[in-house]
Every structure is written in C-alpha cells, then in structure tokens.
Amino acid sequence: MDIFELDKQYVAPTYARFPVNLVAGKGSVAIDNNGKDYIDLGAGIAVNIFGFCDEEWMAEVTTQLHTFQHTSNLYYTFPCAKLAEQLCKRTGLKKVFFSNSGAEANECAIKAARKYARDTKGEDYYTIVTLRDSFHGRTLTTLAATGQDAFHKDFLPLTDGFCHIEPTVEELRRIVDEKKVAAIMFELVRGEGGVLPLTKEFVAEMVKIAQERDILLIADEVQVGNGRSGKLYSFMNFDFLPDIVTTAKGLGGGLPIGATMLGAKVENTFAPGLNGSTFGGNPVACAGALNILSRIDDNLLAGVMDKSDYIFSTLQGAKGIESVTGMGLMIGIKTVKPAKEIAMKCIERGVLVLTAHDKVRLLPALNIPFDLLVKAIDVLKEVCAE
C-alpha cells in the first residue's frame, strides 16, 4: 500500500494534506520519498524555528534523553525550572505553567483569568473577549475563544463565556460596558485568520481600557512568539506588558511544549491542584527549548528583520499579488489566483508554503539562509505572476 492509501485508510481524515511525503530534512530543506528537495517556508507551522535536525538543539535533546526522559510533576527537575527562569527573565512575567500545546497553554490562561476575576470581582466576571478571525486552538474551550464561526457550528454547545469583536476601539468600549469582562485575549498578529496585525492605536486603547477596569490582557503568542515578529515576543513591538502570555509551537523547536507565562497579578492564582499536565515540563522538551530560547538573540532577530524586509520589498506590488501583510517572518500574501493553487504550484517547483484563509502564508525557519530564501521567493513570485 502506498503512503497516501495507508494514511487514507487508517488516519482520521481531519487534515487536507498536500500530496507530499516528507522523509528527511536538514535546515530549511526537506526531502520527499522520491528524493526531491524542497525549500521549506512553513517550518512545520512555525515550529522548526531553527529548521530540521538542528545540531545544537539535537545535542541538548539527546543528552537529556540519555539522562532521563520523563518523570512526573511530583518531583523537581532542572530543565523545567531553568526554562521557566529564562522565560520570566526575558519577558518580565513572573511564573510559568508548562503544558504540551498551544491549546493547552490557552486553556490555562483562560482558567487563570477566570479565577483571578472571580477572586477579585466576583463570580459574574467570567466573560473573555476575543477577536474576530482569531485562532486559539481546537479544544472546546479554545474553539469557543476562536472568533471564527465556521469552526464552531458542528460542535455546539461550546464553553460559555466568550464573545468576539472586531478589533476596533468602539466595539471594545461597547463590550466592556455591556458585559462583565474578565480578560481580553488576542493575537497581536492573527495567524490562521489571515496574518492580520493589530494596529498600534487599537493596542494602545485596549491597554488603557484594561488598566482602567482591571481587565486582564492575554497575548496568544503561540504562532507569532519566539522571535518570529522580530522581537522575542510580539508584544515587545508594542508598549505594554500583558498579564498572561501563552506560547507553544516554536518554543520547542520540534518537540511538543506549551507555556503559559503569568504576570504579577496572576502569578499566584493557581494553588496546588488547580491545574496540571502529566507531560507538562517534560525534561527533554524543556532541555531543547532552553537551547532554542538562548539562541533567540539580537543577532538572530536582526536577521529576521532583514529577511522580512527582503520578502516585503520583493513581493509588495509584484504581478499577481494584491497585498502583503504581517510582521517579521510571519507573512500573508493575498494573491490574485487562489492561495491553494499557488501553494500547489510552489510544491511542484520545490517550495513549501502554507495558506491561511485566502492567503499564502510564509513562516520560514528564523535562520533560513538568505540564498535559499531568495531562491524560494523568486519561485513564489514567478508562480504568482503566471
């Protein structure tokens, strides 16, 4: 049986896969079962931020594997504690809860916000405001947070207590007057929703409104975080510190990890027993993440911005391209032809790109060599112009 049939017969059909069977990879180059090379501009959806089989990361991970692979959260381990320390020192947040995915990191943020609001304002204050075209995960609660009705309709009823607004100051003012709001949860660049950055004006007003009313701000940095925006976390491009920051994807460099960073207001919201995760803080994942985090430095981030500028300046106004949006190396391209068709043509020509709604989406490894990037962007540009 070939791989396409095997998968079709036995794997739940939740993914619209591209017809590509990857068997190996190194850096930003992936190889399929026919030996064909691809320049990877998707990085496993922003996960492989140092590409495939990064030597330094593999060394840390394998050293830890040979030390021990797992224990429970009933005991202390160094990789987990050290990773928490680094995340706090580099963000200004105070404590970290570890889990295994973005959805789980967001679940924890939602629980923390509900508990904080209940403790400080009363049990009616549970509403969490999120944005239209946001994406926060696939569990029933994070789906409820996700502001895209298309994801909801088959699974009703979802968790109660969420409402979605357009990111305008008027809508935000209206909703905080109307509802008893515990928190506002947002991606500073909505990824799955079409790579849509928030404006500085909206963010500034949101911060002001939240301060006035002691509403918590939860930044979902699962996709845009970990250096992709040109800063370690995307909120650092704006002038505020969120109360809670969630991340996952790129932090693990390819192993599952989720992190919910808790600021001063909520650092002690959870008492022992109020949240947990068997695999959360896994020493192998944390040892790898420590290495990844230590390498997201000014030098790497300057490279991210150089590459970002190159992509924007090359593609903006090019034939067959209507707009280019995003931040750093998280880029959405509205093409004249359907995004899926562009992605398929890129695959034929040895370039892997992603889509998001009606856009082509690029999330390359942060260390993609410039010459490979130039080659891949040339292909994309040609495909769009055809």
Ligand X SMILES: *Cc1c(COP(=O)(O)O)cnc(C)c1O
Hey, which residues between 239 and 298 contact ligand X (CB under 6 A)?
248-249
- Number of neighbouring beta carbons within 10 Å of residue 318: 17
Stretch that binds ligand X, among 25-33, 53-61, 217-225, 303-311 (CB under 6 A): 217-225
Token pair recorded at residue 51: 């590409």
Verify binding: residue 101, ligand X, rule CB under 6 A: yes
In the complex with ligand X, the residue whose CB is nearer, 124 or 358, is 358
Residue in 41, 131, 210, 222 binding ligand X, rule: CB under 6 A: 222
- Number of neighbouring beta carbons within 10 Å of residue 168: 13
Stretch that binds ligand X, among 54-62, 95-103, 276-284, 337-345 (CB under 6 A): 95-103
In the complex with ligand X, the residue whose CB is nearer, 92 or 256, is 256
Verify binding: residue 144, ligand X, rule CB under 6 A: no
Q: How far is the CB of 91 from ligand X (least distance, A)?
A: 17
In the complex with ligand X, the residue whose CB is nearer, 136 or 345, is 136
Q: What is the dihedral of CA 278, 281, 287, 288, to 10 degrees?
A: 80
Q: How far is the CB of 151 from ligand X (least distance, A)?
A: 12
Q: How far is the CB of 138 from ligand X (least distance, A)?
A: 6
In the complex with ligand X, the residue whose CB is nearer, 136 or 359, is 136
Verify binding: residue 238, ligand X, rule CB under 6 A: no
In the complex with ligand X, the residue whose CB is nearer, 77 or 106, is 106
76 to each of 70, 79, 282, 283, how far by Cα in Å? 11, 9, 11, 10
Residue in 25, 27, 51, 137 binding ligand X, rule: CB under 6 A: 137
Q: How far is the CB of 106 from ligand X (least distance, A)?
A: 6
In the complex with ligand X, the residue whose CB is nearer, 133 or 220, is 220
Count of residues interacting with ligand X (CB under 6 A): 15
Tokens 């500085």: give the residue.
200
Q: Strand 244-247 vs strand 216-220: parallel, antiparallel, or unpaired?
A: parallel
Contacts of 337 (CB under 8 A, 6+ apart): 320, 384
Verify binding: residue 136, ligand X, rule CB under 6 A: yes
Q: How far is the CB of 134 from ligand X (least distance, A)?
A: 7
**Residues near ligand X, by CB under 6 A:** 101-103, 106, 135-137, 187, 191-192, 220, 222-223, 248-249
